Amino acid sequence: MKIGIIGCGAIAHEIAKHRKDVVALYDVNSEKCNDIQGKTCKNIDELISLSDLVIEAASPSAVKEYAEKIINAGKDMLIMSVGGLVDKEFREHLFTLAREKGTRIYIPAGAIGGIDIIRSARIAGLKSARIRSTKNSKTLGIDCREKTLIFSGTAKEAIARFPKSTNVTVLLSIATGIDVQVEVYADPNAKENTHEIYLEGEFGTATITVRNRPSKSNPRTSYLAALAPLEVLNLIDSPVWVGV
């Protein structure tokens, strides 16, 4: 498998540390790609032509700009900036296009857990889903002296307000089929990014809590989020899938 990566930030660096099949890179700031293996491409078309699977690790706007072109080219795609899929009409268009082209779109669990529970529970029906996220106030650009609720609303509203910090809310909405209720807390003393998920359905109830250490190179990104695409790639390579 030949992997191309859009966006040469913390996630791209982590992937390249573990994978030897990264062959192509693209970033609007090409200098960010200098210390990553693979060819730095002049444009997105060159990257697509060299890759079997394209990983988007740049921004929600990159998903909107490049996803359709990648899928139309018959290439598989792994999307990290799930906020780019918040618009349901655009999202369903991409999913339909992937079916028509015979390609796959992979959306990693990122910084949260329990997606296996959600997939199973959704079959019988989910009644409600909500998530409470707490991050250090500096990473959210908030000035406060104690833990403070700074947002309450839907996932669609959350990603519009915090496009770089609430991708997990959109992921949870896609997984549950519900525009989940979101609370975001800023805490000046928080050393971890915490996500608390609450589910209710015909299966019963579930509470899932994940406390993530921030990525050293990008505190706004949880370290687990940088590892998640690696597990997807491992599953693609493996004949055995556990817990899926």
Question: Do 132 and 199 share a domain, yes or no?
Answer: yes
Q: Of residues 13, 18, 93, 195, which has the active-site annotation?
A: 195
Question: Containing domain of residue 22, as a range?
Answer: 3-107
pTM passes above 0.85: yes
Residue 93 among the catalytic residues: no
Q: Are 207 and 196 in contact (CB under 8 A)?
A: yes
Question: Do 69 and 130 share a domain, yes or no?
Answer: no
The CATH number given to whatever domain includes residue 154 is 3.30.360.10
Question: Do 34 and 70 share a domain, yes or no?
Answer: yes
Q: In what order do the strands lie in the sheet with 181-187?
A: 148-154, 181-187, 126-136, 193-201, 204-212
pLDDT of 241 reads 84
Mean pLDDT by 10 residues, the chain (244 residues): 96 93 96 94 97 96 97 98 94 97 95 91 94 93 95 94 90 93 96 95 96 81 89 93 77
pLDDT of 144 reads 94
pLDDT of 218 reads 75
Question: Do 150 and 170 share a domain, yes or no?
Answer: yes
What is the helix, strand, coil percentage profile of the chain, to 5?
40, 25, 35
pLDDT of 159 reads 92
CA angle 152, 158, 164 (to 5 degrees): 135
